[in-house]
């Protein structure tokens, strides 16, 4: 029976709250059960609010369905696993940053190709953030961790349409030539954030 699920995590957190004297022991158990290292990809579809207001939620749900049909096979082909989907977002993990970047680039290429066959109101545009580091993984449900939060911030809030942004940790762990990336600095709510943007067209 798998124990890396939400119910078991909540049980351990309850024990931690009730028995602070056992905090170190319980933390060790949580880490042993849930902690994994991944490259984390967060993919957001640009223009959710505008498209929904203009064309209605059914139209946008159909676009999400099309987007999933395009990018999910790519994620799988690049050794990735979709952890969860929320609205127009996809959250996936990969064994290394290179695989996550390949999935991101291929997803941008494929959506661009599909867009050439569709009217403008059906075009799919992606914004992508990639992080790398330890997360607490709830298998098939969710994940928690600093790099996941940063990748989400990049993909959902900071990446422009068609952009791929890497966290500093993801950039450091990217194998191979890095000349296709340039440093960008963001300041959000007093937080200084360094990221790396892919500068070649996808």
Residue 184: its H or E element: strand 181-188
Residue 165 burial (C-beta neighbours within 10 Å; 0-12, 13-18, 19+): buried
Cβ contact 195:154 at 8 Å: yes
Cα–Cα distances (Å) from 93 to 97, 118, 143, 173, 174, in that order, read 9, 30, 10, 14, 15
Model pLDDT for residues 43-92, shown as the tens digit of each residue: 999 876 677 777 788 988 888 999 999 999 999 999 999 999 998 899 99
Q: Which are the contacts of 10, defined by CB distance < 8 A and separation ≥ 6? A: none
Q: The pTM is what?
A: 0.92
**Is 149 strand, coil or helix?**
helix
Cβ contact 45:98 at 8 Å: no
Mean residue pLDDT of the chain comes to: 92
- Per cent of the chain over pLDDT 90 is 76
Place 3 in a pLDDT band, splitting at 50, 70 and 90. Answer: confident
Alpha-carbon span 89 to 170, nearest angstrom = 20
Is the model's pLDDT at 102 over the cut of 90? yes
């Amino acid at each position: 029976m798998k124990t890396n699920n939400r119910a078991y995590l909540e049980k351990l957190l309850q024990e931690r709250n009730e028995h602070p004297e056992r905090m170190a022991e319980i933390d060790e158990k949580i880490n042993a059960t849930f902690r994994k290292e991944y490259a984390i990809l967060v993919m957001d579809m640009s223009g959710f609010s505008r498209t929904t207001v203009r064309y209605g939620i059914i139209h946008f749900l159909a676009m999400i369905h099309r987007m999933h049909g395009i990018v999910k096979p790519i994620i799988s082909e690049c050794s990735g696993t979709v952890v969860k989907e929320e609205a127009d977002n996809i959250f996936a993990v990969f064994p290394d940053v290179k695989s996550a970047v390949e999935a991101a680039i291929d997803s941008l290429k494929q959506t661009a190709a599909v867009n050439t066959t569709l009217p403008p109101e059906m075009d799919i545009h992606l914004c992508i953030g990639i992080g790398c580091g330890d997360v607490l993984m709830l298998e098939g449900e969710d994940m928690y961790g600093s790099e996941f939060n940063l990748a989400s911030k990049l993909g959902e809030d900071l990446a422009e349409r068609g952009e791929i942004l890497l966290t500093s940790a993801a950039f450091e762990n990217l194998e191979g030539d890095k000349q296709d990336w340039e440093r960008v600095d963001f300041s959000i709510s007093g937080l200084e954030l360094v990221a790396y943007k892919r500068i070649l067209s996808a």
